[in-house]
Amino acid sequence: MLATYTQVTPTRLLDALRVATNQLHVDLEKRLPFFSPVLDHAYFLRLLQAYHGFYRPLEAALLTSGLVPPALAQAERIKTPALLTDLQALGMTEPDIDSLVQCPQLPVIDSPGACLGVMYVLEGATLGGQVLRREIHKRLGLDEHSGASFLNVYGSATGPRWKAFLEYLDCVSGDDATTEAAAQAAQSTFACFEHWLDAQEVLL
Ligand code: HEM
């Protein structure tokens, strides 16, 4: 079913993003503990805390950049509130969450292309979330009410929102500078995220 999300004719920009990040995705996926027997509730909480430390400042940076195209309805795509809900469901108070460490080294969002590159990574990650959601329910018994809403952050809108994102990419004039900026920002997003997760000691 997930495969149907990507059945849109690849654009030059989408092709460039995929080529630039495919290996980075494979490498990070191997190191994430979602399918590992060592993942228990305590480890999952640490993992979500680390995700929060990256998504919260990065989504704030997207907002302040003023570069998210209105057509991509940024308000609908904010994922930090789901992480806050999950951390509270797992027992954290709001002040505890606010005092969690946040990643200081984020991808630079200084052009429309860079903004799309960062968004490509965060939007694409919602697709894998569908696989992870099922696994975490099976393994830890968690669902959207008990600490795993982030993994199904768009619910039934996952497919349509991804499709809308790809359609937007399709409309962007894929000049070389935009394509280059998007590809670099997408690579940087993966690299910064992996580096951060590593520093938080949540990777395998
Ligand atoms: C163990 C963890 C993960 C698994 C199992 C996973 C799995 C997947 C799967 C199955 C897809 C393809 C969905 C489809 O074609 O319909 C996908 C796409 C994608 N994932 Fe992941 N993912 C994981 C983690 C991540 C993370 C942490 C990120 C980035 C923060 C990420 C970014 C992406 C992107 C950008 C795409 C879109 C690729 C494209 O079609 O252009 N994934 N993932």
Q: Residue 34 CA: which ligand 1 atom is closest?
A: 1
Q: Is the CB of 55 under 6 A from ligand 1?
A: no
In a domain, 188, yes or no: yes
Which of 29, 51, 55, 80, when mutated, tests ligand 1's pocket best, judged by the most ligand atoms within 8 Å of its CB?
A: 29
Between 4 and 49, the higher pLDDT residue: 49
Looking at residue 10, its pLDDT comes to 53
The answer to whether residue 18 sits within a structural domain is no
**How much is the pLDDT for 2?**
45
pLDDT average, residue stretch 132-154 = 97
Q: In which domain, by residue range, is 140 found?
A: 40-68+77-199
Q: How many domains does the chain have?
A: 1
In a domain, 53, yes or no: yes
Q: Has residue 135 been placed in a domain?
A: yes
**pLDDT number for residue 192:** 98
Rounded to 5 degrees, what are φ and ψ at 88?
-70, -40
Q: Is residue 119 part of a domain?
A: yes
**Residue at 125 is within a domain:** yes
For the question of whether the overall pTM of this predicted structure is more than 0.85, the answer is: yes
Residue 104 C-beta-side C-alpha neighbours within 13 Å:
2
pLDDT in tens, 96-136: 999 999 999 999 999 999 999 999 999 999 999 999 999 99
Ligand 1: residue whose CA is nearest its atom 42: 125
Residue 101 belongs to domain with CATH number: 1.20.910.10
Whether ligand 1 lies within 6 angstroms of the CB of 40 is answered as no
Q: Is residue 8 part of a domain?
A: no
Query: Degrees (nearest 5) of the Cα angle 95, 32, 89?
Result: 30
pLDDT digits (tens, 9 = 90+) for 169-180: 999 877 899 999
Greater pLDDT, 6 or 25: 25
Query: 122, 100, 125: which is closest to 50 by C-alpha?
Result: 100
